[in-house]
Structure 1
Amino acid sequence: MIVIFSIGNPGPMNRHSVGHLVLKSVMDHLGAKQLVKSSVYSSSTIENLVFVKSNSYMNESDKALKKFFESNKISSDQVILVVLYDDFENDLGKVKISKFKKNESHNGIKSVSKYMKNGDNVYKLGVGIGPKPSNATRDTMADWVLSPFRLQDKEVLESKGIPLAIDYIDYILEVEGEVGDTNKVNAYFSKHS
């Protein structure tokens, strides 16, 4: 089973919740039914593919994931998990797949990595929202990620970032979650996008 899990904050769309925007676009692309809300998460299923949207705050993403697994009596090691999130280290229009790092700087990813401890069956699909402000402090970064996209940023996201994220998801489904070397996958997509 492949679970595509989007993390972000509840409320209006902003840079921090771009994962939810991508999830909706992927679901439309694959013809999935609308998400059904169940407390801290919402979900929809097509065969052995499940779309899960966290309804928790970013730094509590693990709660939504845990509740999804418990409610559906699924063990976390029985799935390939793909986490959709806002990647502030990457420029707008770029997408990157990777595995967990030892010291994650993204609060949502940090939260998911606490729950998915071994990380062997987890991929992070970061959708670029950068460049981040230069000389950003913790406070200015928080304000920036919670701000809405400017019109020209939204256009780049819709014309490049989201279609590229969909291409990555199509690839993951094609190889049935057996992604292999993420650097090679990223190299392929950066050459062909």
Structure 2
Amino acid sequence: MPLLPERLIILDRDGVINQDSDAYIKSLAEWIPYPNAIDAIARLTQAGYTLAVATNQSGIARGYYDEETLETMHKRLHELVCSAGGEIAHIAYCLHGPDDNCNCRKPLPGLLENIQTKLGLKTLEGSWMVGDSLRDLQAGEAVGCHSVLVRTGKGEKTEAKGIGLEKAQVFDDLGAFADWLIYENLIP
């Protein structure tokens, strides 16, 4: 059965799935997942959703870590999600810095378009974009995603600014969003 856009959930990584750091997440030791996020990904997978990740990783361009280190973090993410009974279909990342003029760095929609192509979707209209910053939501809205802000990571600060959140639904964390989405879809 083909994937329907409304069954796709795109997650930002730092601040949504794992703890964020203003000093960047530079190693596997610094990559600390939120336990409820791993569980939420598993529950969403089991409820029939496809999950993907779109993450800016400018620490690579800045020389703080390399792609091999990033891949080690993503391998660990896949292992944890798989052992919890879930799956991440694709991880798209931007390794450019803010001044590199790429088309993939959020708030531009390039990472989401990469996910769309990789998963064989004609559109992302009606998909879900979950993030903790305005740029995450802007990337999703550019391609027709429903916006979800979580208060983890930079989410509380983003919410407090109140700018650009008119279309967003706000949840305490990824687990609360998963509860809401799974519950909403069980109602006849």
Superposition TM-score, scaled by structure 2 size: 0.43
Higher strand share: 1
Higher helix share: 1
